């Protein structure tokens, strides 16, 4: 599977189109908004860049994961949020404007943090391959992640109508690509699939829940409101697995490294939905309690 032209050429092109679509939804004001929500952006970036890789590392070491699968988990942890995080934030009444800002900033930083974290993992786990310290592969990641976003932003600047019309088709295309690539990666290793689920299913599930929970609780700890906390939780808890799959398959040329992202792609929708309902239910109960307490104080 990893030797086919579809993976080595088609997948990076597909990801570039997806990132171009992401750029179509961004404007310079999304980056300027960082100054208006410094606490929210700071906590999200600290969790995304520092805390999540540490959690992923702790999980793969604790469960004694196979080196290539361990690298896949670390690659997944380094991957930023994306359009799916924005969608889930919208569904569960998060601050979507904050999500867009975080996605914009993360999309830029990911071009540098993904190679760094993944290469450290490759070296630590003594896995085959090299990413990040080789200039050619660093440039390859930047080309498929960063440049299409910039081009999309330029297109939006000159043709907002086109950007608005293209938004829905690109989102649908993104979902189709994710499903096809994730299923393809799993089928490519179908002989070992049950073994992989046994090795990495629990790890990816725990990572998914831990990242989302830490995102929400971390935001609440610094006293962000409910909608901002939901936005942070979704942004760092729903990773852009298409990036992870593309790098694993077309840059590292390893289906095994792609397996954690493929399994995560399946688990994240179920766990994100359950987590979203849990948070919003708790938020509604808290709001009703505050309203009742306020009414009682007025009567007294």
| 201/258 Cα distance (integer angstroms) | 13
Query: Is residue 249 classed as helix, strand or coil in its secondary structure?
Result: helix
Give start and end residues of each alpha helix (H) in 33-66. 38-46, 52-62
CATH of the domain at 9: 1.20.1530.20
Specify the DSSP class assigned to residue 129: -
Look at the pTM and tell me if it is higher than 0.75.
yes
198: containing domain: 5-299
Other CB atoms within 10 Å distance of the CB of residue 187: 12
At residue 213, the pLDDT reads 92
Task: Please check the confidence at residue 41 and state whether its pLDDT lies above 50.
Answer: yes
| 90/87 Cα distance (integer angstroms) | 5
Specify the higher pLDDT residue, 225 or 100: 225
Structure tokens at 74: 């670390």
Among residues 229, 193, 195, 234, which one has the least CA distance to residue 212?
Answer: 234
Q: Which helix (H) or strand (E) holds 103?
A: helix 96-124
Banded model confidence at residue 6, pLDDT cuts 50, 70, 90: low
The whole-angstrom distance between residue 130's C-alpha and the CA centroid of its chain comes to: 22
Q: Which helix (H) or strand (E) holds 13?
A: helix 11-24
At residue 138, the pLDDT reads 65
Banded model confidence at residue 283, pLDDT cuts 50, 70, 90: low
Structure tokens at 214: 């830490």
| 32-69 residues labelled b (16+ CB within 10 A) or e (exposed) | ebbeebeebbebbbebbbebbbebbbebbeebebbbbb
Average pLDDT over every residue of 59-80: 93
Average pLDDT over every residue of 223-227: 90
Task: Please check the confidence at residue 35 and state whether its pLDDT lies above 80.
Answer: no
At residue 143, the pLDDT reads 75
At residue 60, the pLDDT reads 95
At residue 295, the pLDDT reads 47
At residue 299, the pLDDT reads 55
Among the ranges given (156-160, 199-203, 241-245, 282-286), the one the predictor scored with the smallest mean pLDDT? 282-286
At residue 69, the pLDDT reads 92
At residue 19, the pLDDT reads 80
Domain total of the chain: 1
Average pLDDT over every residue of 59-76: 93
Inter-residue contact 17 to 200 (CB < 8 Å): no
Task: Please check the confidence at residue 282 and state whether its pLDDT lies above 80.
Answer: no
Where are the strands (E) in 179-298, listed by range?
none
What tens digit of pLDDT does each residue of 196-219 get? 888 899 999 999 999 999 999 999
Number of H helices, E strands in the chain: 15, 0
10-14, 128-132, 262-266, range with greatest mean pLDDT = 262-266
Percent of the chain past pLDDT 90, that is, above it, reads 22
CA distances from 78 to 26, 170, 233, 236 (A): 21, 23, 16, 10
| 72-106 residues labelled b (16+ CB within 10 A) or e (exposed) | bbbbbbbbbbbbbbbbbbebbbbbbbbbbbbbbbb
| 147 exposure class (CB count in 10 Å sphere: 0-12, 13-18, 19+) | middle
Average pLDDT over every residue of 105-124: 86
**Contacts by 157-166 with C-beta closer than 8 Å and gap 24+?**
157/27, 162/24, 163/24, 163/25, 166/21, 166/24
């Amino acid at each position: 599977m990893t030797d086919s032209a579809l993976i080595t050429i088609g997948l990076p092109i597909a990801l570039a189109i997806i990132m171009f679509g992401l750029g179509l939804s961004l404007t310079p004001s999304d980056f300027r908004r960082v100054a208006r929500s410094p606490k929210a952006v700071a906590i999200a970036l600290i969790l995304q860049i520092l805390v999540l890789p540490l959690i992923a590392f702790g999980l793969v070491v604790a469960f004694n994961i196979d080196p290539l699968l361990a690298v896949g988990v670390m690659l997944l942890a380094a991957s930023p949020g994306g359009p799916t995080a924005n969608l889930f934030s919208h569904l569960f009444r998060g601050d979507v404007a904050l999500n867009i800002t975080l996605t914009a900033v993360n999309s830029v930083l990911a071009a540098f943090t993904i190679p760094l974290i993944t290469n450290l993992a490759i070296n630590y786990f003594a896995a085959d391959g090299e990413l990040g310290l080789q200039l050619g592969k660093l440039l390859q990641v930047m080309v498929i992640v960063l440049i299409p976003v910039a081009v999309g932003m330029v297109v939006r600047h000159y043709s907002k109508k086109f950007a608005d019309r293209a938004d829905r088709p690109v989102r649908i295309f993104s979902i189709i690509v994710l499903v096809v690539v994730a299923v393809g990666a799993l089928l490519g290793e179908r002989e070992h699939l049950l073994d992989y689920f046994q090795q990495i299913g629990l790890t990816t599930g725990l990572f998914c829940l831990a990242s989302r929970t830490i995102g929400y609780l971390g935001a609440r700890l610094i006293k962000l409101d409910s909608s901002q906390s939901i936005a942070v939780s979704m942004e760092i808890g729903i990773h852009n697995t298409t990036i992870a799959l593309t790098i694993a398959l077309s840059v590292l040329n390893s289906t095994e490294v792609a397996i954690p992202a493929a399994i995560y792609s399946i688990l994240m929708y179920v766990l994100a939905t359950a987590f979203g309902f849990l948070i919003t239910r708790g938020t509604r109960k808290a709001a009703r309690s505050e309203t009742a307490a306020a009414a009682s104080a007025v009567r007294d």
